[in-house]
């Protein structure tokens, strides 16, 4: 159905918008708290809100014993490994550069999806990935081909990339068994438990010395509600609707959103290369989805012909 297809694509775009903004919100929160504290609090807040919602609406699902291993592994890849790599990497590079590296997720997910769940890789997806990769390279390197980021930060962010690729494959095994809200609730609560020992050992003493400000509280709430809750719910809906590969291609939109909001909120500078890179990234997303859109349009036209004949 055309309307259903449009909703799935809308969910994919909005999830990337929230994740693009998360780099900006994190840069605000890091002025007061350490990375582990920020991650632990956003997961705890998100998990508590979602669990309360499920209890009030009586929609809580019980995890089947045979699926517990998937939830534990899911939470280990993301949020645990992903956020460790992303958050500490973000301390060393700008929000736009960090989001550009995260946007390389679609370059690796087709191979993982093919070998793990035998999801077909289409020519449109490959061409779209190549366009997006070219755009990412324009944004990541200076005109003299020097890297526009700290190498340690880049390596940490690639830890997040591979964790996200693993996450997108694992989620396929349970996305049709549980509601998105259920998956995100348990994912975040288990993730918070993973981070609790690190928080108590490394960050707790610093945490109790900080007096929260309105700006800090708002950044944490935005990270918890939009980036750690709604974005994941929308993303799972997109994966169920269009698959791992096509859903992950939308990750190329993250640096575009991050670059725009970093410019307006954090005052990060735009260059001609950044603008050209963003255009290529957008073009890559459009191309990668064109084949499915074409099939949807063709199917809709055939249905209209059949209806007119009837």
Per-residue pLDDT of the chain (310 residues; tens, 9 = 90+): 567 788 899 999 999 999 999 989 999 999 999 999 999 999 999 999 999 989 998 888 999 999 999 999 999 999 999 999 999 998 888 887 888 788 778 777 777 766 766 667 678 878 887 887 888 788 777 777 677 778 899 899 999 999 988 888 888 788 888 988 899 999 999 999 999 999 999 999 999 999 999 999 999 999 999 999 999 889 888 888 887 777 877 877 888 888 888 888 888 777 787 788 878 887 887 787 665 544 443 444 444 333 333 3
Buried b (16+ CB within 10 A) or exposed e, 240-278: bbbbbbbbbbbbbbbbbbbbbbbeeeeebeeeebbeebb
pTM of the model: 0.79
CB 189 within 8 A of CB 40: no
Residue given tokens 């899911």 in the structure block: 74
Residue 18's pLDDT is 95
Dihedral over alpha carbons 116, 118, 119, 121 (to 10 degrees): 100
Give φ, ψ of 206 to 5 degrees: -70, -35
Question: For residue 118, is it left (φ>0), alpha (ψ between -120 and 50) or beta?
Answer: left
Q: Contact at 8 Å (CB) between 47 and 161?
A: no
% helix, strand, coil for the chain, step of 5? 85, 0, 15
pLDDT score for 309:
35
Answer whether 188's CB lies under 8 Å from 47's CB.
yes
Q: How far is CA 228 from the centre of its chain?
A: 9
Q: Other CB atoms closer than 10 Å to residue 195's CB: what's the count? A: 22
pLDDT of residue 123: 81
Structure tokens of 250? Answer: 């939308």
pLDDT at residue number 145? 67
The full length of the chain comes to: 310
In sequence order, the 6+-apart residues with CB closer than 8 A to the CB of 186 are: 63, 71, 75
DSSP letters of 162-230? Answer: HHHHHHHHHHTTTTTTS-HHHHHHHHHHHHHHHHHHHIIIIIHHHHTT----HHHHHHHHHIIIIIIII
User: Distance between CA 192 and CA 113 in Å, rounded?
Assistant: 27
Torsion of CA 278, 280, 281, 283, to 10 degrees: 120
CA dihedral 55, 61, 62, 63 (to 10 degrees): -130
The tokens of 99 are what? 């989001």
């Amino acid at each position: 159905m055309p309307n259903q297809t449009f909703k799935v694509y809308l969910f994919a775009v909005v999830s990337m918008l929230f994740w693009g903004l998360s780099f900006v919100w994190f840069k605000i929160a890091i002025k007061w708290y350490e990375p582990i504290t920020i991650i632990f609090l956003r997961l705890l807040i998100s998990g508590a809100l979602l669990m309360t919602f499920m209890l009030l609406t009586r929609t809580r699902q019980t995890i089947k014993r045979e699926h517990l291993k998937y939830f534990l592994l899911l939470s280990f890849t993301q949020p645990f490994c992903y956020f460790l790599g992303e958050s500490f990497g973000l301390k060393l590079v700008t929000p736009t550069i960090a989001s550009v590296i995260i946007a390389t997720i679609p370059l690796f997910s087709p191979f993982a999806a093919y070998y793990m769940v035998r999801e077909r890789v289409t020519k449109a997806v490959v061409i779209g990935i190549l366009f997006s990769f070219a755009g990412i390279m324009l944004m990541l390197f200076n005109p003299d081909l020097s890297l526009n980021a700290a190498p340690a930060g880049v390596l940490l962010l690639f830890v997040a990339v591979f964790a996200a690729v693993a996450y997108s494959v694992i989620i396929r095994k349970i996305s049709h068994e549980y509601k998105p809200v259920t998956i995100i609730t348990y994912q975040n609560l288990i993730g918070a438990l993973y981070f609790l020992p690190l928080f108590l050992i490394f960050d707790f003493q610093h945490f109790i010395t900080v007096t929260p400000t309105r700006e800090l509280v708002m950044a944490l709430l935005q990270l918890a509600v939009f980036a750690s809750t709604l974005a994941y719910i929308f993303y799972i809906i997109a994966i169920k609707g269009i698959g791992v590969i096509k859903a992950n291609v939308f990750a190329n939109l993250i640096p575009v959103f991050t670059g725009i909001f970093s410019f307006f909120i954090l005052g990060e500078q735009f260059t001609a290369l950044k603008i050209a890179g963003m255009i290529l990234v957008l073009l890559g997303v459009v191309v990668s989805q064109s084949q499915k859109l074409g099939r949807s349009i063709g199917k809709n036209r055939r249905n209209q012909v059949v209806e007119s004949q009837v």
